[in-house]
Amino acid sequence: MSMRSGCLRCVAALWPLIFLLSCGGSSGKSAFLYLVSQGTAPGTVSAYSLSLKNGTLGSKNGALTEIGKGASAGTQPTALLFDPTQTFAYVANTGSDDISTFTINKDGSLASAQASTPIASATTKATRPVALAIDPGGHFLFVANEGIFLNDRAQDIPGSVSIFSIGSGGALTPVSGSPFVLQETSPPLPSSPNQPLPEALAVSNQGNFLYVADRTNGSVVGFSFDATSGALAPVPGQTFLAGNSPSAVLSPPAGNFLYVANAGSSDIYEFSINADGSLSPITTAGTSTQITISTGVGPTALLSDPNAKYLFALANQGSQITGYTMNHVTGLLTAVANASVSTGANPVAFAIRSDGSTNGDFWLFTSNFGGNSVSTFKLTYSTGALNPLPQLTAPLAPYGIGVR
């Protein structure tokens, strides 16, 4: 059984980053950071002011100061994701098996949840939603559900992907066939693979493809999705080996590549995405050897800047961020000089925000579950260096994080 709650697994937080890349202009020099907290029942989502002059967050005496009143989510909220227009937000509630939908108040805080949408259907069970993704057009919300596996196999609820069409005001409607049970039967897995455990998912930068990280089988499962209905179909090959306990996947907004972070082996696998959605390992020239690159201990999330100049990996066990440059032609990652910086204890998610100007400033923010804090770093865009700003105390058990 997979346990994702206030008591994290020792190996990693295992919640892939669900983040918002904000690169467009902003009126004035202010923005907002949003933080999910599991420290209350139900959980909450709080808003904080963010200065686009210097990257500082609203605080007093070393602690974050909230805007308005926190909005209630469901039980054990994890992932937080804004739609591409940044007019509403979704939170995955692992304990209550549903998705909360929020609109935004004039002061920047989130309004009370407009709806709570179950991830299961009348005919197919689903439990423990842990990751969210939206296609670039904002048509569909994809949800990775861990499922639950007991000694009595008759009571198992398999890992799955729930898919919802997004309507007016962010309203969610299940697509036909949702949730889709994750089944891996194709090579290169053994003839009797383990029960799939979805931990992360990502929509491709190009084409209608969805990739799901399966922790127990060390693989990524690829699907195409219908642009009209949202229904899933396997890509050719379907299953691609991706290392020990994959915990995060990312298709950056430039090139046509997929990166998979592995919590068990503390490395990143690099793939090219083919025109049919299948994955080809990026290999050493003239060989069939898959290229991997080491990262911090127990990576749990990946993100890039809006131009995909840099890719960053967040390490839960190592409590650090590691940065890489990305070659848009080959897909190869190269660690930047002095690549790693320390965060607060046991970070579980991070987000990036620009000041909206051309070649302007960027800041990274991490949600540190073990330290009940938020760390802020200024990104020097010319070099990839991260410089820390003062760490701030956050609400108890912070989890998902977002910016707008």
Cα distance between residue 381 and residue 157, in whole Å: 45
Res 1 pLDDT > 70: no
Q: Does residue 157 fall inside a structural domain? A: yes
- pLDDT at position 188 is 65
Q: Does residue 190 fall inside a structural domain? A: yes
| DSSP percent split of the chain into helix, strand, coil, nearest 5 | 0, 50, 50
Q: Is the peptide bond before 179 cis (omega within 30 degrees of 0)?
A: yes
Helices (H), ranges, 128-180: none
- pLDDT at position 24 is 43
Q: Which helix (H) or strand (E) holds 269?
A: strand 267-273
CB distance 202 to 133 below 8 Å: yes
Residues 85-124: tens digit of each pLDDT: 999 999 999 999 999 999 999 999 999 877 899 999 999 9
Q: Does residue 369 fall inside a structural domain? A: no
Q: Does residue 52 fall inside a structural domain? A: yes
The larger pLDDT score, comparing residue 181 to residue 151, is at: 181
Q: Does residue 390 fall inside a structural domain? A: no
Q: Does residue 194 fall inside a structural domain? A: yes
Residues 114-172: tens digit of each pLDDT: 789 999 999 999 999 999 999 999 999 999 999 987 655 557 888 999 999 999 989 99
222 pLDDT band, cuts 50/70/90, is very high
In the chain, the number of structural domains is 1
- Domain extent for 76: 21-360+395-403
12 pLDDT band, cuts 50/70/90, is very low
What's the alpha-carbon Rg for the chain, to the nearest Å?
19
5 pLDDT band, cuts 50/70/90, is very low
Residues 384-396: tens digit of each pLDDT: 999 999 999 999 9
Query: Which is it for strands 21-22 and 347-354: parallel, antiparallel or unpaired?
Result: parallel
- pLDDT at position 353 is 94
Q: What is the mean pLDDT of residues 286-308?
A: 92
What is the SS3 assignment for 30? strand
Domain CATH for 341: 2.130.10.10
